[in-house]
Amino acid sequence: MRTLTLKEILRFAGRPGVKRMAVENFLGSLADMSSPLAMANLSLDARWYGWNKATVWAIRDGITLAEGIEIMKGEGDVA
């Protein structure tokens, strides 16, 4: 999985309703994880920290981008 650029991370962290610090910290650490591990960690962290859906989806979309999969621009996405 590739490392996301700061611009990419800030795009996800800037979505409405997300916990900005959670998105920045999680997506900033992706280079050290495989995709399945990142998704498992997302699930655990979301429950542990009580992240809302907007935060979870922003992180999930960031993981998808880091995997090299093109994502569709969502309703809450900030260009």
Of all residues in the chain, the percent with pLDDT exceeding 70 is 86
49 part of a folded domain: yes
The span from the CA of 67 to the CA of 3, in Å, is: 9
Q: Let me know if residue 72 belongs to a domain.
A: no
CA distance 23 to 19: 6
The pLDDT value recorded for residue 74 is 52
**pLDDT on residue 79:** 41
> Chain-wide mean pLDDT for the chain?
89
**Domain assignment of residue 19, yes or no:** yes
State which residues form the domain around 10. Answer: 6-66
**27-58 per-position pLDDT tens digit:** 999 887 888 999 999 999 999 999 999 999 99
Overall domain count for the chain: 1
Q: What is the pLDDT of residue 71?
A: 55
pTM for this one? 0.84
